[in-house]
Amino acid sequence: MTENSLAIAKFSDLANPTRFLALAARLIPWMAGITALCFIVGLYLSFTTEGDYQQGETVRIMYIHVPAAWLSMMGYTIMSLSAIGTLVWRHPLADVSARAAAPLGAAFTLIALVTGSLWGKPMWGTWWVWDARLTSVFILFLMYLGLIALNRAMEDPGKAARLSAVLILVGFVNIPIIKFSVDWWNTLHQSASVLRLDGPAIDPEFLRPLLVMALAFTMLFLTLHVMAIRNEIWRRRIAAQRRLAARLASREG
C-alpha cells in the first residue's frame, strides 16, 4: 500500500465517530497543556516589552486583537473546508466540524471587533468607522450568527447540513475581501505587517510576543474545536437514543 493510500485510510478512519472520540480523548490533554504553556510565555513577553513610542501601552491590545482577527478568518476557512467535505465526500464528521467551528469563529470575531474598537479610539479618535476592513469583519460576524441560527432552527440534520454547507461556501467570498480590503480600498487600517513577501515590518521586540500569542490563540481554537466536535457527537448520540426510545414507546402504546 502506498503512502497516499495509507494517509487516505487514516483519514477515513476518523469518519468513525467512535475512533474520533478515542483520538480526541488522547489529544485534548496535550493540546490544552501546550495552549497553557504558550499563553504563559506569550503573556510574559507581552507585558515585559516596552510600549510603542507612538501608541504607548495601548500597543499591547495588538497581542489579542491581531490573533483574534486571524482566527476569525481561520474559523470560517475551517467551516468552508468542512462544507466541501459535506457536499463532495459526504464525510460524516464534516458537518459536525462546521457546526463546532461556528460559535468559536463568532466568539473570536466579536473579540476582534471589540478589541479593535478599544485600540481604534486612542489611535483614530473614534470607536468605529464604516471602512472596508471593519465592515467586512462585521459582516463576517453576522454570517456566523446566521449560520448558528440556521443550524438550530432546522430539525432535519441532513437538510441543515447541506443548506449550511452551500451558504458557507457562498459566504467564503468575504474572506479574501477582509484580507485584501486594505489594499483594494482606502481604509484606516494599515497594510499587512507580518505576512509580507519582503519580511515582517514589525520590530522584533513586538513581533516575538505577537507570534507566540498567535500560536497560543490558535492552539486554544483547535483545542476548543476538538472538544466541541466531541460534544456534538455525544449530543447527536443522545438525541438519536431519545428518538429511538420515543418510537419504541409509541409502538408499545
Q: What is the pLDDT of residues 89-133, one digit of tens each?
A: 888 899 999 999 999 999 999 999 999 998 888 877 888 888 888
Question: Residue 157 has what pLDDT?
Answer: 79
Q: Identify the residue whose cell numbers are 461556501.
A: 169
Distances (CA, A) of 113 to 64, 110, 154, 230: 11, 5, 29, 29
Q: What is the mean pLDDT of residues 147-167?
A: 90
For domain 61-189, say whether CATH 3.40.50 is its number: no
Q: Which of 4-8, 15-19, 105-109 has the highest mean pLDDT?
A: 105-109
Q: Name the E strands within 57-192.
A: none
Round to whole Å and give the CA distance between 204 and 74.
Answer: 24
Round to whole Å and give the CA distance between 73 and 105.
Answer: 8
What are 178-206's pLDDT values in tens digits? 988 877 776 766 665 665 545 555 767 88
Domain ranges for the chain, please list them.
18-48+210-253, 61-189
What are 22-76's pLDDT values in tens digits? 999 999 999 999 999 999 999 999 988 876 656 667 788 889 999 999 999 999 9
Q: What is the pTM of this model?
A: 0.87
Q: What is the DSSP letter of 88?
A: I
**Is residue 114 within 8 Å of residue 72, measured between CB atoms?**
no
